[in-house]
Each structure stands twice: as structure tokens, then as C-alpha cells.
Structure 1
């Protein structure tokens, strides 16, 4: 077995350089490592302005994680006990956990062949109790926002986009996270851009933006004047400095991810039992993850690739409704056939910007070899 520490190609990795180091040093030298003011510190405001320009929205509010972005957004909408929030189960568990944390009820619905939530299933699940709908732009590929937003409008529900994986992706020419009540982003270490931990909330609604500013900072405006229930969801200046520099590199990162994904798509095109399904012409993928559907032998291929130093991975082997917690809460009997099927057949291959041409060739060659053994 090949040792993972020797020539191992990870599924994703943070890409930071001298610019990030200098920015962090400036924060350390300033003595202001964080800022508890209503508007945030210098670096927080700078990062927010850069993301606001990208998204073309009225407001961007930095927070300390993608989970905090979701929680704060739902809190600002007034989600509470007795409310329902519709979402896919084929996502990271935080999308559902924030609903439970607010004492509301997650309503899981099934996905389409592209792994994103199915608007037809949302339409069947929506009710007078529906407070919000959370489409997840899975792997960096946009969900069907126009249909979802129309369903939400017709039932007086809000749309909170889980854009944790999709910064830079676009739906019909509009950036994900920019056209709903809220767009929630993650800057976790392996995301398209990173600050180690971190997140951001985008909105065009002035009143909702005001609520977010309060909720992320203990409900305070001037300090010790709490006006509503809030928390410490602030982004520290140290993280904001990294995030601000990373924003300058986003376009370059996107070009590399798209180029690498295109190369792999061409290489796997003739393989039996392999499908790439996230390829609609009206959607621009950011390729946080490059994900394929294998007709059979997924675990065999995954194990063999990992043993040969390729960091292939599966997102997600266990849908949220089948995790121990949600089984205990009674969700395991939810009928989500496409979700269950996808969890058994998807595999993601590395396409991050740090890959060399030699790395890409190795990923493609090893994948081709393992798949060819199955058919």
C-alpha cells in the first residue's frame, strides 16, 4: 500500500501564500486581532466589500463559519418552534442542525440527477407551516433557483441559499447566493477560497441585514445595549485578513478548477458506467468538488484510489436523515430514493488549483484503470 504522506493528492487543500502571511502579520502588528463593533473591523469591512462587489448585492456580513451564516439567517427570519424548513438530506449536516437548534422542523425532500434539490418535491412538501426553503448548491453547482423562488413566493416563504460550496458559481448569469432573501457562504479550510474557518451572509434586504448585524454581535449596537437575542458569530480580523487576500485570487482559482475539471471530463467521457451530471448550459460550476456517478463498484474504486495515493472522496456516504441523530429524531423512514441512490454511487476526484499536469494525469490514469476493471 502506498503511504498517503508520499505523493498523496488530496481532494482539496488550502492554497495560501506570502500575501496572506503579510496580511496576518499586519493584523498582529496592529494589536487589533478582532473587533466587537457593530460594523466590524477594517479587514472585515474590506472582505465584505470585495464579496459584495462580486455578488452585486446591497449587503454582505462576515461571520465565523458557514454554519453561523445559516443559523444567523434563519434567526433573522424569525424561524421558531412550529415552523418548517424544507431542505435536501443530501448535504452536510449543519444545514439541518441549524433548524433543529431553532426548535423548528426540517422537512427533507429528494434530489434530481444533478444531486440538487428537486423543485417538484419541494412543491409537494410546502405547507402553511413552511417558513423557509434551503436549496444547497451541492459541490459548487447551482440549484434551480427560479423554480424554487417562485414556489417560495407563492407560499410566503423565504429562500436561504446554502452556498457554502458555491462561491463563484452562477445561475443564469447571476452569482449563487445573490438573489434570495439570504445567501450563506463558507470559508472553511478546503473551500474554493478560505480563511481557515469563516463564513458570510449576502442579502439585498436592508431590514434583514440590520438584524444580521445585531444577531452576530450579541444584539448590540454601541456595546452593552443588547436589543435582541444575539450571539458571538463575528469573524475575527485575523481570519478576515486572509479572506480579503483570497478574494483577489478567486478568479485565478476558478480558472484552474474549471480547466482541471474539463480535462477530467474529457478523460472519463468514454468510460462505461461513469456519468457526469452537473452540466446544464445555464449553470456555471465552480467545481469545489468534481463528482461522478459510478454504476457499480464505488467502494472498490474509492479504496483502490486512496491506496494508490489519490484522495478521491465521497460526499455524502450517509444522508442527513440516516445519521444516528436524525434516526433517533424519527427521520430515517423518510422516502428519498434518489438521495439514497446517490449516496451509494457518487465519488469525487481532485481538481483543486494546486494540481500539476502530472497530478491530473495521474488522477485520470488511476481512475481509468480502476473503472476499467469493473466492466
Structure 2
């Protein structure tokens, strides 16, 4: 039986093959591989798409977050509030600039629990870094109100949410800075690595541009210790083509998510993700929760036996699935800080044991989703019988 992958980029590529190959050949023949018109065109179009004044392309989503923190002059002695349930880079960049990540637990959407943020604010807090996880936007209306009340900067981690909206605004345009990843698995993915910073603040934009070019203002004049973080022309050209299709692809993801909701709604022990009431999801992942009925091992976030059985069963049927993320950040060795932090953020820890991301891409067919749903049902019903 044909394998169903978590993501199939070959189906997407067939839609844009001619345009991409023509554009790439034009770049190769031009001899202009770094900077130039292709990068400038993408930056302008992405700024227009997100509804921001400035877009600065860079090497990766990780670099985008790092550059955002540096542009805000956040460093040693400062604290940045963020989530423990996300990819490691979110906290990594905070530590990398010398600041301290302060974790706040998540809510049922897998995003920051806004009810808990104010209790985490101290005189050292300089910023909040919300993550629009799996494409689900954070309630930015409430978050910005909290930030404004405490004079804090907001850096949106939009790596998984390109095209998502909150209250009619694209993510990345609501906070002080938006940070995007163009890793191939993202909704807007390059054919390699890439990232971007968006902002409506001209001073922040100028500082990001300076920092990403070795801290240069004019050639060979360095005003800061920066880094080499460029979005190359080939990737920019490919992203410009893909950007024209992004809304249609996101609509396709929404259709896939809606079908999942219908196909999976009656399954035992499954909690389905819900679209946000005040915004639109980009559905970078379709992540369910498989609820354990006891015997949970808090010291081993990968011990979800029901999830392990489901993953194995699906794999035997030729259906791939993914776990994002099996170990929350506060339980990573580097953030244990010499103490046992198990139980500190119980919702994040439970999510780490229960989440399972099913195949999600716009071209996923109804027949493939029916196969996935049937496989899940068979495995869960069998587990129900064994448990009873």
C-alpha cells in the first residue's frame, strides 16, 4: 500500500515546477547569488503580504529570533517570557544573547496561557516571545494589552504560522517584531533554509539589517558584533513564486483540517485541535492528543504507551506520524539548572506525552485521510477493548 508521509513536497512542486525552474535558471545565469533584485523583491512582497512596513530576509528562523532580540538590545541580566512547549530554538536564542528564558505553561491550544503571564513578570522582564504553535495564533489582543501595561516588547515566533491571522491581522504584524522560518516543512518553505524578520519600526529594521551583515553600516565600517545571516537570491526567487500560492495552499490545509474534524470526532481517547475563535489557523500541523488513562511517567515524557501503540500501528499501515515535541524545554538537560523541574509546567508535560501530528499538507486526498482515520479507529477500538 502506498506510504502516506507527514508532508509531501513533491506534490506541491509539480504545481510550480515550470515557474521555479525558469526563475532559478535566471538567477544562475545572472551571477548574482547574494542580495540583489530577487531578495529585494521578495522582502517587499512579504512585507506587503504580512501587512508590515519592513521585511528583512535572513538565513533561518533561528537567526530571525536572534536578530530580533539583538535589535531590541536584550542581553545579560534580562528575562524573556516564553513557552516551554515549542522547538528548542525559541529558548536557545534567548540564552544565546545572554538573557534568561522564563517559561509559562500552555493552555489547551498548546499556546502560552495568558492567564499566567503577569505572574511571571519581574523587574528584569524585557519581552514576551509568544509562539503561534502548529499554526494556531495566540490571542494577540490580550497579549499586547499585557505587554503595553508592563512596557514590554513582543517578539512573535511565527515559524509555524505564516498566513495565520488574529482579529483580521496577519501574525508577524501585531507584535513589535515578527520572526519567520522558511524551512522546507513550513507553510511557506524554501528549497533549503531561510527566514525573515518583519516590523513596522524603522529603527528596529535598520538595526536588524546592520546586525545580519556583520554589524556593518557602510562597507568595512562595523558598529556592532553581528553575524553573517543572508537569505540567498535562489531561495528568495523560489519563495516569491510560492508566496503567490500561499493563501490557496493554506485554504487547502484548512479543508484537510475540516475533514479530519469530521472523520475523527467520534474516536475514543482523542482530543482534536480547535480553530481559534478570534483568528484563523495556518494548520502547519494537525496535532491530536491521545489521552492516557493512568500510569503516566512524569520523569519520562516519551512514555505515552497509547501513543506509542498508535504510531506503531499506523506505521505498519504505511501511515507516518510525528511527535512535536516529546520533551518540553524546561526538562531539557541544558535548562534543568541542577534541579528536578518535573511537574513545574504540568500542561506542557502532559502535551509532550500525548501529542501526535497526523499527515498534513494541502494535497492530502480524502481517500488518504479516510485511510488514516480508519487506522486510528481500529487501533483505538482495540485499545479500548484491552483496557476494559
TM range (shorter): over 0.9
Pick from 304, 315, 340 the counterpart of residue 306 of structure 1: 315
Q: Does residue 290 in structure 1 map to residue 286 in structure 2? A: yes
State the distance in 2 between where 1:344 and 1:156 align.
36
Distance 1:151 1:331, change over 3 A: farther
Give, in angstroms, the shift of residue 306 of structure 1: 2.1
**CA offsets 1:333-368 (integer angstroms, 9 cap, x no match):** 571010001111111111202323332222222222
**TM superposition score normalised by structure 1:** 0.94
Give, in angstroms, the shift of residue 157 of structure 1: 1.2
Alpha carbons 1:13, 1:189 under 8 Å: kept: no
TM-align CA RMSD: 1.5
Pick from 57, 69, 78 the counterpart of residue 64 of structure 2: 69
Alpha carbons 1:131, 1:157 under 8 Å: kept: yes
Counterpart for residue 368 of structure 1? 377
Distance 1:105 1:367, change over 3 A: same
List alignment gaps of at least 5 residues for structure 2. 293-305
Counterpart for residue 348 of structure 2? 339
Alpha carbons 2:164, 2:170 under 8 Å: kept: yes
State the distance in 2 between where 1:270 and 1:333 align.
33
State the distance in 2 between where 1:237 and 1:63 align.
11
Q: Does residue 188 in structure 1 map to residue 153 in structure 2? A: no
Alpha carbons 1:117, 1:136 under 8 Å: kept: yes
Alpha carbons 1:69, 1:201 under 8 Å: kept: yes
Counterpart for residue 33 of structure 1? 33
**CA offsets 1:240-287 (integer angstroms, 9 cap, x no match):** 111111101101211211111111110011112211233232120111
State the distance in 2 between where 1:18 and 1:357 align.
27
Give, in angstroms, the shift of residue 190 of structure 1: 0.7
**CA offsets 1:207-266 (integer angstroms, 9 cap, x no match):** 111101111111223311112222111111111111111101101211211111111110
Pick from 211, 216, 223 the counterpart of residue 215 of structure 1: 211
Correspondences of 1:1-375 after superposition (within 5 Å): 7-14=2-9, 15-16=12-13, 17-35=17-35, 41-195=36-190, 196-296=192-292, 297-328=306-337, 332=341, 335-375=344-384
Give, in angstroms, the shift of residue 149 of structure 1: 1.4
State the distance in 2 between where 1:46 and 1:361 align.
41
Count of residues in correspondence between the two structures: 365
List alignment gaps of at least 5 residues for structure 1. 1-5, 36-40
State the distance in 2 between where 1:331 and 1:68 align.
31
State the distance in 2 between where 1:326 and 1:160 align.
21
Counterpart for residue 297 of structure 2? none
Give, in angstroms, the shift of residue 328 of structure 1: 5.0
Alpha carbons 1:218, 1:226 under 8 Å: kept: yes
Name the SS for the 1:161 alignment partner. strand
State the distance in 1 between where 2:28 and 2:157 align.
32
Following TM superposition, the consecutive aligned residue runs of length 4 or more in structure 1 with deviations greater than 3 angstroms are 328-334
Counterpart for residue 38 of structure 1? none
Distance 1:329 1:155, change over 3 A: farther
Give, in angstroms, the shift of residue 92 of structure 1: 0.2
Distance 1:132 1:315, change over 3 A: same
Name the SS for the 2:5 alignment partner. coil
State the distance in 2 between where 1:314 and 1:136 align.
17
State the distance in 1 between where 2:20 and 2:382 align.
44
State the distance in 2 between where 1:374 and 1:355 align.
27
